[in-house]
């Protein structure tokens, strides 16, 4: 199959409709007590909506996306969109770069040049990658209304087909959030295609605090962290994993609702000191939210949650991923499992790094640090360690 060049252009009428809907926003009152205590702060959201309506320039963000080479191609019954950016170096390594939820390819604008052209940033051209950054099936530009839904294992199969179609039958992979889960599925089910696996989130770790309460001190601390997370931070997973269609109606109809649902995560999961724009560029965050809005993909983007809640564990008991693993832990990540826990799931951990700044959206928050981690990990696998 032949990839087709792609350029995004959202019609002017759709941009005007978004602004009209934002102008007609009806917000709730602010609950008592501290701002953000019960979810998105209403005054913060009000200011964001005004900027989204009157100050945000979608065309500028669209142009930044279109500055990267993009393709679409039919795979597994849908049209898959991807950035396909050649590396500048003597031997660029193919690298599959995977986003998660509520993310998109807009996460990668700052990190892709650091990976494809390291010499531009003072690095070694021997470390260059040719980057393939797809919109995940059911997300953004890999979504059309009425298409079939994809869980993590099915997405991994699409990724293998994508890389083979683009001429990269063997490749490295990097992921956070659902990207981490898909990368792990690739390592478990398609190891012959991978040179290595780099993660900044460990999706495969079982989420039962009882498994760790009798372990090492690090494991007991992780059990407490996990128990708090399950009690206070997983409501969205239960809704998205049990009644995704109900929520999709609300967030497909209300851009303010969509922004509220997303911005709370950009605040909670980033190294932002309470203001997400300290960690993530405001225009980039709104570009991400706008892409979900314009494509209407929010319902399909929930599907991996439903699939995970109703399916088997990502790594079944007794199995381990054999592909070499590199892991970078950022301090404001959602969870921080210790290496002893990861050792139960990954048989060949080559690099385990604890970074001093950053959170869940590492490619947006700390692109230089994440790129540094990736170059160092894959350098050994290129035979240059």
Contacts 24+ apart (CB under 8 A), 205-210: 205/335, 205/337, 205/341, 205/342, 205/345, 206/313
The domain spanning residue 244 has which CATH number? 3.40.50.1820
52 domain-assigned: yes
Q: Chain-wide mean pLDDT for the chain?
A: 97
257 domain-assigned: yes
330-380 pLDDT per residue, tens: 999 999 999 999 999 999 999 999 999 999 999 999 999 999 999 999 999
User: What average pLDDT does range 125-129 have in this prediction?
Assistant: 98
38-66 pLDDT per residue, tens: 999 999 999 999 999 999 999 999 999 99
pLDDT band at 383 (very low <50, low <70, confident <90, very high): confident
User: What average pLDDT does range 69-98 have in this prediction?
Assistant: 98
171-188 pLDDT per residue, tens: 999 999 999 999 999 999
29 domain-assigned: no
95 domain-assigned: yes
Q: What is the token pair recorded at 91?
A: 């031997």
Catalytic residue among 44, 139, 212, 305: 305
Catalytic residue among 81, 168, 198, 360: 360
How many Cβ atoms sit within 10 Å of the Cβ of residue 30? 14
**Is 305 designated active site?**
yes
**Is 292 designated active site?**
no
Residues 6+ positions from 273 with CB-CB distance below 8 Å = none
* Nearest CA among 173, 150, 191, 140 for reference residue 296: 140
DSSP state of 135: P
199 domain-assigned: yes
Q: Residue 384 pLDDT > 60, yes or no?
A: no
pTM of the model: 0.97
54-59-63 Cα angle (round to 5): 150
How many Cβ atoms sit within 10 Å of the Cβ of residue 382? 15
For residue 255, the SS3 value is helix
**Is 228 designated active site?**
no
254-296 pLDDT per residue, tens: 999 999 999 999 999 999 999 999 999 999 999 999 999 999 9
Q: Which domain holds residue 111?
A: 4-19+39-380
Catalytic residue among 41, 117, 127, 177: 177
Domain tally, the chain: 1
What pLDDT was estimated at residue 385? 41
Residue for token pair 């560029």? 281
10 domain-assigned: yes
Cβ atoms of residues 200 and 362 within 8 Å:
yes
User: What average pLDDT does range 103-131 have in this prediction?
Assistant: 98
Integer Cα distance of 138 and 147 in angstroms: 8
């Amino acid at each position: 199959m032949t990839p087709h060049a792609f350029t995004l252009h959202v019609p002017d009428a759709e941009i005007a409709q978004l602004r009209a809907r934002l102008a007609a926003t009806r917000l709730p009152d602010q609950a008592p007590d501290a701002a953000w205590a019960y979810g998105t702060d209403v005054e913060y959201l009000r200011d964001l909506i005004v900027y989204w309506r009157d100050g945000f320039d979608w065309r500028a963000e669209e142009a930044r996306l279109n500055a990267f080479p993009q393709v679409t191609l039919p795979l597994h019954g849908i049209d898959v969109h991807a950035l396909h950016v050649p590396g500048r170096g003597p031997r660029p390594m193919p690298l599959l770069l995977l986003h998660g939820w509520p993310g998109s390819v807009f996460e990668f604008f700052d990190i892709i040049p650091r990976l494809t052209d390291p010499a531009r940033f003072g690095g070694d051209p021997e470390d260059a990658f040719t980057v393939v950054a797809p919109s995940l099936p059911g997300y953004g530009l890999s979504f059309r209304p009425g298409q079939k839904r994809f869980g993590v294992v099915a997405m991994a199969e699409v990724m293998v087909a994508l890389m083979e179609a683009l001429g990269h039958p063997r490749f490295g992979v990097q992921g956070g959030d659902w990207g981490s889960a898909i990368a792990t599925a690739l390592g478990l089910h398609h190891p012959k295609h991978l040179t290595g696996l780099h993660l900044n989130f460990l999706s495969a770790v079982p989420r039962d605090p009882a498994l760790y309460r009798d372990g090492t001190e690090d494991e007991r601390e992780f059990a407490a962290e996990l128990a708090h997370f399950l009690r206070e931070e997983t409501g969205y997973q239960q809704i998205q994993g049990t009644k995704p269609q109900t929520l999709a109606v609300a967030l497909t109809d209300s851009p303010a609702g969509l922004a509220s649902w997303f911005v709370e995560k950009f605040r909670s999961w980033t190294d932002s000191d309470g203001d997400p724009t300290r960690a993530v560029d405001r225009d980039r965050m709104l570009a991400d939210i706008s892409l979900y809005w314009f494509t209407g993909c929010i319902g399909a983007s929930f599907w991996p949650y439903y699939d995970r809640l109703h399916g088997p564990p990502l790594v079944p008991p007794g199995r381990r991923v054999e592909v070499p693993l590199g892991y970078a832990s950022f301090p404001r990540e959602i969870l921080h499992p210790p290496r002893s826990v990861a050792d139960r799931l990954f048989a060949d951990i080559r690099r385990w790094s604890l970074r001093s700044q950053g959170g869940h959206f590492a490619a947006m928050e700390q692109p230089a640090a994440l790129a540094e981690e990736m170059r160092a990990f894959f350098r050994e696998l290129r035979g240059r360690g």
